[in-house]
Amino acid sequence: MHTMHTAQESAEHTQLRQTIREFAAAEIAPNLSQWDRDRYFPVDVVRKMGELGLFGLTAPEEFGGSGKGLAALCVAVEELGRVDQSIGITLGAAVGLGINPLLVHGTPEQQARWLPDLVAGRALGAFGLTEPGAGSDASAMATTAELLGGEWVINGAKQFITNSGTGITSICTVAARTGTKPDGTAEISTIIVPTDTPGFVVEPLHDKMSWRICDTHPLTFRDVRVPEENLLGPRGEGFKLCVQSLNSGRVAVAALAVGCIQAMLDAAVERAGVRPTFGGPIGRKQGVAFQIADLAVMLEASRALTYRAAALKDDDAPLAEFRQAASIAKLYATESAVTATRIASQVFGGYGVMEDGPIARFYRDAKVLEIGEGTSELQRMLIARGLGLPVE
C-alpha cells in the first residue's frame, strides 16, 4: 500500500480513512466482480454505510449527522472509490445531490420530513437535472412544472439520474421550467418529488460502460402532482441551486478520481515488481518505471488540489474562490484518473483487459469521471471565466 497523505491530514480523518478501508475490504471487495457483472445494487451495503455514519458526514447533529464537512466526505469517497468507483459515487451523489440541497435550501418542515432517513442511509435522494436534450446546457431544459390549484403538475423526462430507482430511494429533487423570466430566458425551479407519487416513472436501468453497480435511470413525469410547499428554495432560483450543489459535487468526484489513481498506483507498483520479462521484473525497465513515477506525481497533485478545494468549502471561503478550486481539482484529478488506468492496464499487459480483473473495471469507470458533474470542457470554461476571460 503506497498511500501518501497530505501533511495536514487530521487524526480524525486518518481514523475515518482506516475505518472505511477495513469496511470496504470486508464488505465490498469480495463481491465486486459479481455485482459488476449483474449490475447489482447492494442495498444492504448502503445501509451498513449509513450505520457507519457516512451519509451524515456533512449534515448537522440535529438531523443525525456528524457535521464533519466536505473534506471528511472526500476521505470517505476516496477510500470507497479505491475499492470500487460505483460505491464511491453512490455515497457522493447521495450526499451532494440528495442531502445537501435540502440542508442548504430546505424549509424546516422539508428538512424534518426527509433528512433523518437520508442522513441515516435508510433512504436515498436523487437530483433530476440532466435531460435527453439538456446536459451541460441546463437552460435547454424541457421538463415543466405548472402551479395549478396549490399543486405543482410536472411533465417531462430526465436522463442519467443517480440513485433514482433503488428500493430505498425516497425523493427526487426535480429541476423544471416554471415560467419565463422578463428577459425571455427560462425560469427554473426545483421541486421535491416523493418517488411514490403517481406518474413518477422510473424507466429501466441504463446499460452503462462505467459505474455498473451504481443505480442510474431515466425518469419520466406524467402529470406528477405534488403540493406547492414541495418547492425547494425560492421559485426561479433553481438554476442557482443546481450550480451550488454541483460545486461540492465536483470536489467529491475529484476525490473519487483520487481513489482511482491510488488503486492504479498500488496495482502497478505491485505488478511491475513481479511480472517477469526478459529475465527480470518489468519494473526494471525505465519505460515502465517512469510511467509509474508519473502516476505517483498525479496522485499527489490530485489529492492536494482536492483537499484544498474541500478545505476552502469547510472554511467558508468566498464562493468564487471555492468554485474555481473545485473546477481545477475536478478537471485535473479526473483526467489524471483516465491516464492512470491506461498506464496500469499497460503494466498488466493482457491481464489488464480481462473483465474478471479490477484493472478493466477501473478503466471503464474512469471515463465517466470526465463527464459527470460537469464535463472537462465545462470545467475549462468555468476556470477561464474565473480568470476573467470572456469565454462563451
134: number of Cβ within 10 Å = 17
Strands 216-227 and 151-162: antiparallel
Specify the DSSP element, H or E, that contains 79: helix 70-83
CA 297, distance to chain mean position in Å, is: 23
3 state SS of 138: helix
Strand partners of residue 147: 152
DSSP annotation of 209 reads S
Q: How many angstroms separate the CA atoms of 387 and 86, rounded?
A: 34
* Beta strand extents in 181-272 (DSSP E only): 186-194, 200-202, 216-227, 231-232
**For the chain, counts of helices (H) and of strands (E):** 12, 10
Q: 240 CB contacts (<8 Å, ≥6 apart)?
A: none
Is there a catalytic annotation at residue 12?
A: no
DSSP state of 36: H
Contact criterion met (CB below 8 Å) for 351 and 25: no
Phi, psi dihedrals of residue 214, rounded to the nearest 5°: -70, 145
Residue with cell 510511467: 291
Task: Kindly name the residue from 61, 373, 377, 392 that is annotated as catalytic.
Answer: 373
Q: How far apart are CA 344 and CA 202, in angstroms?
A: 37
Residue of 328, 324, 340, 371 lying closest to 162 (CA atoms): 371
Is-contact 318 342, C-beta < 8 A?
no
**Structure-block grid coordinates of residue 247:** 460545486
The sign of the torsion formed by the CA atoms of 218, 73, 303, 85 equals negative
Beta bridge partners of 190: 175, 232
Distance CA 67, CA 100 (A): 12
Q: What residue type is assigned to position 341 of the chain?
A: T
Residues involved in catalysis = 373
